[in-house]
Amino acid sequence: MLDKWLNGLKKTQENILGRLNALIKIGPTISELFYENLEEILISSDIGVKTSMELVATLKDEVKKDKIKDTQEAINKLRELILGIVKVNNSELNISPEGLSVYLFIGVNGVGKTTTVAKVGNLLQKRGLKVMFSAGDTFRAGAIKQLKIWGESLDIPVISQQEGSDPAAVIFDSIEAAKARGIDVLLIDTAGRLHNKKNLMEEIKKINKVIEREDGRKPEEIFLVIDSGTGQNALASAEEFIKNVPDITGLILTKLDGTAKGGMAIPLIKDLDIPIKFVCLGENVKDISEFIPEKFIEGILGEV
């Protein structure tokens, strides 16, 4: 999996590190132009305007304070600063000490929710937990079948109703079934596409209420699944979700393998008070990992 990180982040590394190295090659002098170029590289690496500007401002201070002499050393310092940001991320999972834990997966259409349900389910099962899937996406044609196929191949039971039925009812049923069968973790897939965004948010709120009513407590995890390819736009999109679903407990970044925009993880960690719990680095069920700050930095900025 560690090689997967490096492979998966290759495009992002080429994008950021390639250009940082080119910048160092211009010359060893730390000038105002160096900082300007650096800021531009960071912004266009999907680190976001705000975070990029803050990073460069902090770097300027550090260069003075530590009497850093050349551009290579300054870039090393930058790597340290970025590591400092991502290091606060704690990807530990919330698991109920007794009885059932409920994990809800939400996000817009096509980001990889259903695939991620399968990946996380497989991971937990490998750790010796009894897991079950709930087909909460009753909206998209084929969604239930997609989850059932995953369930069959992973030997994980799937609770579903027919297409078009009320997702809240399916989820209610699955919680009952999970409890009756002594399941440790119930993973609930949800629809990403409804008639519009407002409907999507309302649906998620309703689902959340059903879980609370049935179980008397909030889901142990509400994962907001985000396609890394959306780059710095992900921050605004995540903020909109959080406004509507304030109980989101973790982010999952998918498709990191297919994008040069992996830098987007940095402002997410810095500006949202919600940790990245998993990253997905491919379509295979095993292509998932906890977010490891050091590996991430090595993946995007190379070895120190």
Contacts with ligand GTP, residue ranges (CB under 6 A): 107, 109-115, 137, 140, 143, 192-193, 254-255, 257-258, 280-283, 287
Question: Could you tell me the smallest distance in angstroms from the CB atom of residue 228 to ligand GTP?
Answer: 8
The answer to whether the CB of 187 falls within 8 A of the CB of 123 is no
Structure tokens at 212: 């609370």
Query: Site map for Mg ion, 110-129, x if CB under 5 A?
Result: ---xx---------------
Burial 182-202 (b: 16+ CB within 10 A, else e): ebbbbbbbbbbebeeeeebbe
Q: Which one, 114 or 249, has the nearer CB to Mg ion?
A: 114
Choose the contact partner of 112 out of Mg ion, ligand GTP, none; CB within 5 to 8 A by kind: ligand GTP
Q: Which one, 111 or 175, has the nearer CB to ligand GTP?
A: 111
Handedness of CA 138, 144, 146, 150 (dihedral sign): positive
Which is nearest to 265 in space by CA: 106, 107, 91, 86? 86
Question: Could you tell me the smallest distance in angstroms from the CB atom of residue 92 to ligand GTP?
Answer: 21
Q: Which one, 112 or 262, has the nearer CB to ligand GTP?
A: 112
Which is nearest to 117 in space by CA: 278, 268, 230, 298? 278
Structure tokens at 255: 């498709």
Q: Taking the CA of residue 264 as centre, how many other CA atoms within 13 Å lie in the half-sphere pointing to its CB?
A: 24
Which is nearest to 138 in space by CA: 188, 201, 213? 188
Choose the contact partner of 12 out of Mg ion, ligand GTP, none; CB within 5 to 8 A by kind: none
Choose the contact partner of 221 out of Mg ion, ligand GTP, none; CB within 5 to 8 A by kind: none
Choose the contact partner of 151 out of ligand GTP, Mg ion, none; CB within 5 to 8 A by kind: none
Piece of the chain touching Mg ion by CB under 5 A; list 43-51, 52-60, 108-116, 219-227: 108-116
Contacts to Mg ion by CB under 5 A: 113-114
